[in-house]
Amino acid sequence: MSDDQTTAESMDPAIESADFRRVLGAFPTGVTVVTAVSPDGPVGVAIGSFASVSLDPPLVGFFLGTGSSSWPGIEAAGHFCVNVLAADQVELCGAMASRNPEKFDGVDTTPAPATGAPILPDVLAYIDCRIDRVLDGGDHHIILGRVQALDTVRDADPMVFFKGGYGSYAG
């Protein structure tokens, strides 16, 4: 590379992780739990970085840290179900965000129609997917899922994550 050429990486400013989290925390996000049935049993992880990606084909996506203990199970399953949480499900969210291997104990799930991934009780909606592709996103995986089935379950206020805390939408 010549002296007058630069790479995108060499042009990146130094961003402190605390500043990154503080500023991005000012953007409210919905809260979901991604579940799957791995060869070792059910796995689940709370996710705030979920998005609709494409209508044709129907794709959704979420971002998961490369060090996630739940990712190997989801990847091995080849499928996942996105459970959209309601504002009154903070306790369930906390359980699914934990590293507790028994996080599904006492949780009455329903198998998703296409993949059998767990649908959590009383969620607002679910999106049942097969893994379409996994992209590199730095210290995160970008997981795209091809939607196989989806539905709304109940009408309630959604759970929102904002500035490090959980709340609800005030419309």
Is residue 18 situated within a structural domain?
A: no
Tell me the β-bridge partners of 161.
Answer: 29, 166
Is 141 part of any domain?
yes
Residue 163 lies in a domain: no
**Residue 1 CB-half CA count within 13 A:** 7
Q: Which two tokens stand for residue 48?
A: 């705030």
pLDDT at 171: 65
Q: Is residue 170 one of the residues assigned to a domain? A: no
Measure the CA–CA gap between 88 and 86, rounded to whole angstroms.
Answer: 5
Expressed in angstroms, the distance from the first to the final Cα of the chain is 54
Number of domains within the chain: 1
Please tell me the predicted confidence (pLDDT) of residue 2. Answer: 46
- Tell me if 38 is assigned to some domain: yes
From CA 51, how far away is CA 29, in angstroms rounded? 10
CA distance 73 to 37: 7
Residue identified by tokens 């649908």 is: 119
Task: Answer yes or no: is 160 within a domain.
Answer: no
Tens-digit pLDDT string for the chain (171 aa): 444 445 555 677 888 888 887 887 766 788 999 999 999 999 999 998 999 999 999 999 999 999 999 999 999 999 999 999 999 999 999 999 998 889 999 999 999 999 999 999 999 999 999 999 999 999 999 999 999 999 999 999 999 887 777 877 776
Note whether 31 and 85 are within 8 A (CB).
yes
State the pTM of this model: 0.88
CATH code for the domain in which residue 64 is found? 2.30.110.10
The burial of 34, by beta-carbon neighbours within 10 Å (0-12 exposed, 13-18 middle, 19 or more buried), is given as buried
The token duo for 30 is 């919905």
Residue 3 is predicted with a pLDDT of 47
Residue-number span of the structural domain to which 90 is assigned: 28-155
**61 inside domain:** yes
Which pLDDT value is given to residue 166?
Answer: 80
